[in-house]
Amino acid sequence: MPGKFSKVYKILGLIMLIGLIAFIYQLYKGLIVTHMRNSFSWGLYIATWAFFVGTAAGGLVVSSSIYLFKVEALKPVARLATITAFVFAIAAMTILLPDVGRPDRLYNIFIHPNFKSLLPWDFLVLSSYSLVSIIYAYILMKPEIYKFGVSIPLLGLKGKRNITDEEYKKLKEESFRKAKKLAPLALPLAILIHTVTAWVLATQAARPWWYGGLLAPTFIATAISTGPAIVILFSLWVLGVNERLLPAYRVLAKISALSSIILLFMYYNEFFVRFWWHHGEDYEALKLLFTKYLHLHVIEVFFILLSAYLFFRYSDVPKKLVQGGIALIIGVFAHRFLLLPSAYNIIPFRVPVIERYGSEEWSYPIAHGEVIGDLLKPGKVFVDYWNYYPSIIEILITAGVMAAVVFVILKLSEILPVEEKA
């Protein structure tokens, strides 16, 4: 029987297939098919990784705040929230696959981990987070699974046991107790995945755009604004609207909007400090954002503000919530992408040139790594600026992973009892 989403699945499946083909092509050709080069060595995949980590947060923040902060209104969306958390955390690790040059050697992370580096830690917290979210999801849904079973495609109905209403009620109480116990573990993990991900970048003194203590707090703010928005979007899509859900959406929208404002505050606070000094690498990085990347910056600020406005003003209107959620995704994605240019195009190796009439900093050019041009039109070998934009292959692979994320979330929410049943 054709399900509610059968058409959506077809479209998503197609995007996934194209993404897979693009990935195979990239495996075959090498990362030369991306538009990253030596001086701009991380691109769309890493931006998407940061984005996914951010969206993964919401899930557990939502579900654990029910039990830790007693926000009972959020209960109806808790299950879906944990599922999104799980899927996005897995997706964050998946998007790193096309980024590494030798995915065949990834096992080295397990047999030779270097714990001074934050990447193994990031793997560790992301995988623990996905594990905890799936356990969490199971705990929440266990009563319904026992009572009604889940119908898995091809395998049929599974997990159903014959239990009396009495036992069912007991299971529900037990589920609540266990969820309450797990919440204090889940929340710190949710905070950790952003912090550690931010630290991967923020520890690099060579990249003044990231270096410093402010990146982790902005990552958390981004997460607390996108996480709930993602939950709203999926919940509206899967569960729709009813009296029990509306209050949940209202709370989520307010949390998201507030966090967006905090994010922008921290962002501009940093800008002001850099701007005031008006010189040096920190300022140069900022200047790049406001000159060459002004268009993207306008997009990020406009859409984040728009979503905050819609979420604050119309937290009861489903249509506006959808618009707000989509606006936020656009804005935050631009925000994530903008992590890169100001980090890589401010070349860290700079030499001061001091003259009688003043001084300037000169960036030492980097060999970008590809022979371009020909005898008549020779290309540059060493560059001090690399105009990065994602190549078509990068876009297709990223789109494929995104489609897979949506696909899996929809499928899981169809199979699993995401709605609480009496």
Nearest C-alpha neighbor of 129 from the set 192, 81, 217: 192
Minimum distance between the CB of residue 397 and another protein, rounded to whole angstroms?
16
**Using the rule CB under 8 A, which residue among 108, 151, 269, 387 binds another protein?**
108
Q: Which residues contact 278 (CB under 8 A, 6 or more apart)?
A: none
Write phi, then psi, for 367 (nearest 5 degrees).
-70, 120
Minimum distance between the CB of residue 217 and another protein, rounded to whole angstroms?
21
Q: Which residues contact 174 (CB under 8 A, 6 or more apart)?
A: none
118 binds another protein (CB under 8 A): yes
Q: How many chain residues are in contact with another protein, going by CB under 8 A? A: 59
113 binds another protein (CB under 8 A): yes
Coil/strand/helix, residue 19: helix
Stretch that binds another protein, among 104-112, 173-181, 222-230, 397-405 (CB under 8 A): 104-112
Tell me whether residue 159 or residue 348 sits nearer to another protein (CB atom): 348
Minimum distance between the CB of residue 295 and another protein, rounded to whole angstroms?
25
Residue type, 253: A
Longest CA–CA separation in the chain, Å? 90
1 binds another protein (CB under 8 A): no
Distance CA 260, CA 265 (A): 9
**Using the rule CB under 8 A, which residue among 351, 387, 389, 421 binds another protein?**
351
Minimum distance between the CB of residue 31 and another protein, rounded to whole angstroms?
5
Distance CA 70, CA 73 (A): 9
279 binds another protein (CB under 8 A): no
**Using the rule CB under 8 A, which residue among 6, 10, 70, 102 binds another protein?**
102
367 binds another protein (CB under 8 A): yes
CB atoms closer than 10 angstroms to residue 298:
12
Distance CA 300, CA 278 (A): 23
**Using the rule CB under 8 A, which residue among 83, 216, 343, 403 binds another protein?**
343
205 binds another protein (CB under 8 A): yes
Nearest C-alpha neighbor of 95 from the set 34, 186, 8, 38: 34
Instruction: Show the beta-strand stretches assigned E in 156-248.
Output: 156-158
**Using the rule CB under 8 A, which residue among 11, 24, 100, 152 binds another protein?**
100
29 binds another protein (CB under 8 A): yes
Minimum distance between the CB of residue 381 and another protein, rounded to whole angstroms?
7
Binding positions for another protein, 30-49, rule CB under 8 A: 30-32, 37-39, 41-42
CB atoms closer than 10 angstroms to residue 364:
11
For the purposes of burial, counting CB atoms within 10 Å of the CB of 332, is it exposed (0-12), middle (13-18) or buried (19 or more)?
A: buried
241 binds another protein (CB under 8 A): no
Tell me whether residue 371 or residue 422 sits nearer to another protein (CB atom): 371
Q: Which helix (H) or strand (E) holds 383?
A: strand 382-383
Distance CA 310, CA 304 (A): 10
Tell me whether residue 117 or residue 151 sits nearer to another protein (CB atom): 117
Distance CA 64, CA 74 (A): 10
90 binds another protein (CB under 8 A): no
Q: Which residues of this chain interact with another protein, rule CB under 8 A? A: 29-32, 37-39, 41-42, 96, 99-103, 105-106, 108-109, 112-114, 116-120, 200, 204-207, 343-344, 347-351, 353, 355-357, 360, 362, 364-375, 381-382
